[in-house]
Amino acid sequence: MAVVQDADPAAALAAIRRLPLERRYVWRVASALKWAFADCDDLSVEADRQTLVPEDLAKVTELLKYRPVQFCLFLKALLGPQELQRIMAEALGHALQAP
């Protein structure tokens, strides 16, 4: 908020620095993704895709619309643009090779 309000972020960054990992934003996002994909099963996704009515598929598609970009922005901010590109290229390669 300090940066958005054009204020000196030093005090806010010092407070964040003292937080344990489990209370930080990056932990919340990483933990949510861990649980979201803990039992990722592409066969179940395929079964849902084949059986969803078009209106429900549209709702799910809309819900997911910005998630890839948000995840890329998260990785870029955390790891830098080169590591983002490496991770996403590797992930895309694995996903395209999977049956």
pLDDT in tens, 4-56: 777 788 988 999 999 999 999 999 999 999 999 988 888 999 999 999 999 99
Helix residue ranges per DSSP H, the chain: 10-18, 25-36, 42-51, 54-64, 67-79, 81-97
Mean pLDDT to the nearest integer, 64-88:
97
pLDDT band at 60 (very low <50, low <70, confident <90, very high): very high
Global pTM value: 0.83
Torsion angle (degrees, nearest 10) of CA 87, 93, 98, 99 = 150
Q: Do 72 and 88 meet the contact criterion of CB atoms below 8 Å apart? A: yes
| Cβ partners under 8 Å of residue 9, min gap 6 | 2, 3
pLDDT for the residue 2: 75
Please name the amino acid found at residue 99: P
- Whether the predicted pLDDT of 89 surpasses 90: yes
pLDDT for 19 equals 96
What's the confidence (pLDDT) of residue 80?
Answer: 98
pLDDT of residue 51: 97
**pLDDT of amino acid 40:** 87
CA distance 31 to 1: 23
Look at residue 98 in the predicted model and tell me its pLDDT: 83
* Residues 6+ positions from 21 with CB-CB distance below 8 Å: 27
